[in-house]
Every structure is written in structure tokens, then in C-alpha cells.
Chains A and B, each alone.
Chain A
Amino acid sequence: MEIDIRSKEFAGKPVLGPIRLTLAPGERLAILGPSGIGKTTFLRIAAGLDRDFAGTVAAQGPTSVVFQEPTLLAWRTALQNVTLPTGVTESRARALLGDVGLAGKETLFPRQLSLGQQRRLALARAFAPEPQTLLMDEPFASLDAETAGRMLDLTETLLDRAGASLVFVTHDPGEAARLKARSLTLGGTPATMH
């Protein structure tokens, strides 16, 4: 994946750039930096959710996103929350739910799951389309230490198996080390990578 942001502005005020990044297949990259510096903006640009910037993003193969919140369809079951957005078969979705420890919870609705389970469901959904690149926005931030630890291990296992590269935003250098990710820090005005 190649990201080349010349500049990104909000209401005429430059917030990002210039930023050039090349991500090799399987490479893991953690983006650190203080709140409000533009980490989420950077990730939204990389995900193709924000196209209002000067520059280019080129991805090889499918890209998946894990958002800050689980962002599930409250009116669909756990299984449907994997199959409907991604278009994968039910059997693949079942296997993925098993991988993230949600076997037997296929027919439950998101509100019947704990926050940790909802996040694992979001993780299963992200891995469903066999992404080449996984983008994660502070995915472990609102979890208690134990749950966050389990989520980190699970993410590591699934990443290893899929061979996908990872870009994830965090404010915790410990998470970056645990996922064996190269760390870059976003800082300055407008923010650039260091």
C-alpha cells in the first residue's frame, strides 16, 4: 500500500502533510501521537473514506477497517453482521466467529454481546474479505487491560495467519511493541510522520 498525502485541510486550515508511506506486504505499522493530531483523519484517508485531500492512496488487494467503536448493525445477528457487509458465505462467517471465540453466539444480536465480544465480532468482520491490509483505529482503547490483552493476542494470531499488513492508530507504544509493529509518530502543525 502506498500513501502519498501532500496536504489535508479542514476549513482552509492544513492539518496533515506532506506524508509519504509505503507499506510492504505483511508489514505492521503503528501510528502514535497525541489526541486531535490527525491520526483518525490519516486512517480515514488510507481507508478511502475521506477523499477530500491532495494526494493519492494506492492499495493492492482488499482493505478492511476496524473502527474505534464496534460499528455493528444492531438489527442483524452476529452471523449476519459478518456476511451482510462483506458478502462472505455463511460457513466462512461461522468459521471466523469460531476463530474469535464467538462460536455458539451466531444468532445473538449485538446488544446481547459484551463490549469485548462486540469488538471481536468487528474483528471477525474485518478479516472476512481476506484483506491485504488491515486498518485499525484505536481498537483497544476503551477496553480493560485484560480484555485489551486478549484482543491484541487475537489480532496478532489472525494477522499472522492472513499474512495481511497492518496500519493501526494508537496512543500506547506498548500495543505497538506487542504487535511487533514499526512505530511512527504523527506530530507538528500540519502534522507529519517522524
Chain B
Amino acid sequence: MTSPPPKPGRAAALLPALLSLAAFVALWEALAALLAEPGTLPGPLRVLDVLGDEAASGRLAHATGVTLLRVVAAFVVAMAIGVALGLLLGRSGATDRWLNPWLVILVNLPALVVTVLCYIWIGLNELAAITAVVLNKVPLVTVMVREGARALRPDLDDMAQAFRMRPADRLRHVILPQLAPYIAGAARAGLSLIWKSW
């Protein structure tokens, strides 16, 4: 019998990550010094300098706040639509056969194309930005939740039907707990996608 390797402590587990980050910053600084063209590749110290100025003027906090609001809005809307659509497509074969081709197109549409189109159609405003991100994220959430909806246990469906559970109770106590891992996965993947969109 082999015993698992001893688990490193919390601090020891963090050490490789910190060293790796330090190495990244050092590499960045070295490349910037080698190139010696701050307009093309500013070094980390120079970036930190600008960041400090922006923070002092209050512009950084404002911009971060606006971005966060967009992220939250786009995340909430995209998750709500994606979960509802995924559940519908996973449960109804007929709907899936009709809408799956749309989904294939949307999943493969470059995010940049959607974003540019939204700005052209809606204008250079918040609504366009949020709509673009929602459109980019919904297909991903839909596909992941559809996977979960297809894996829902038929025996529990029978049980809920036999005891005539109300639809809202079924959703909350029978269906959503089974979908939870898929929704969490979609949320994680979706959040990083949204965050990188701005």
C-alpha cells in the first residue's frame, strides 16, 4: 500500500505561486529593459507608477466600479437566460432539434464580431456593451446546463410526478440541486469570459 504524499501546509502551498508570479514580473522587467522602448513595452514599475496616478485622481476607482457593474449585470442576465434555455433544450428533444443549429452558430461566432455588431446596432453605450457580453456568454451557459438537464434522473421525475409536486417545488428541490454542479461550472467559465470582455 502506498500512502499519499504529505500535504504541504497552507504557506508552503502558496510559495510556488508567489515565486512563479515574481519570476513573471522579473521576466517582464527584463524584457522591458532590453527593449528600452516604454511606448511599446512599459516595464512593471512604470505601469505601477501610472496606476498610482490614476488611483490618486479617483479615475481608477470609478472605472473599476463601472466595469464591476457591467460584469454583475451581464453575469446575472446571461446566467438567467442560459439556465432557462439549457433546461428547456435538455428536457425537450423537439425544442432541442429546432434550436440546436442556432446554438452551434452562436457558440462558434467570434466574440469580437458580436461585440462590433452590438456597437453598430445599439450605439457606443452601456447597453450595447452588456448586450454583447450577454450574447457571447448565453450559448456557453446553455450548452453546459443542457448537458446537466440531459443527465437529470428519470426516477426522481417519476417520484415528483407520482406525488404531484408543484412545478415550483420540483424546480427548487428536485431539478436545481441536480443541475447545481453544471450551473456552478457555467458560472465559473462565464465569469472569466465576462471579466476578460472589458
Contact = CB atoms under 8 A, between A and B. Distances in A.
Interface in A44-79: 44, 47-49, 63-65, 67, 69, 71, 73, 75-76
A87 B166 CA distance: 9
B173 A49 contact: no
17 contacts: A44-B158, A49-B158, A63-B162, A67-B158, A69-B155, A71-B156, A71-B158, A73-B173, A73-B177, A75-B177, A76-B173, A76-B177, A84-B169, A85-B160, A85-B163, A85-B165, A125-B163
Interface residues of B, number: 14
Interface of A: 44, 47-49, 63-65, 67, 69, 71, 73, 75-76, 80, 84-87, 125, 129
Nearest to B178: A75
Of B160, B169, B173, B177, most buried by chain A (CB within 10 Å of CB) is B173
A64 B159 CA distance: 10
A71 B154 CA distance: 10
B93 to A, nearest CB: 15
B174 A73 contact: yes
B162 A129 contact: no
A87 B165 CA distance: 8
Contact of A64 (B156, B158, B163, B169): B163
Interface of B: 155-156, 158-163, 165-166, 169, 173-174, 177
Contacts of B161: 48-49
Contacts of A80: 173
A76 B174 CA distance: 10
Contacts of A86: 163
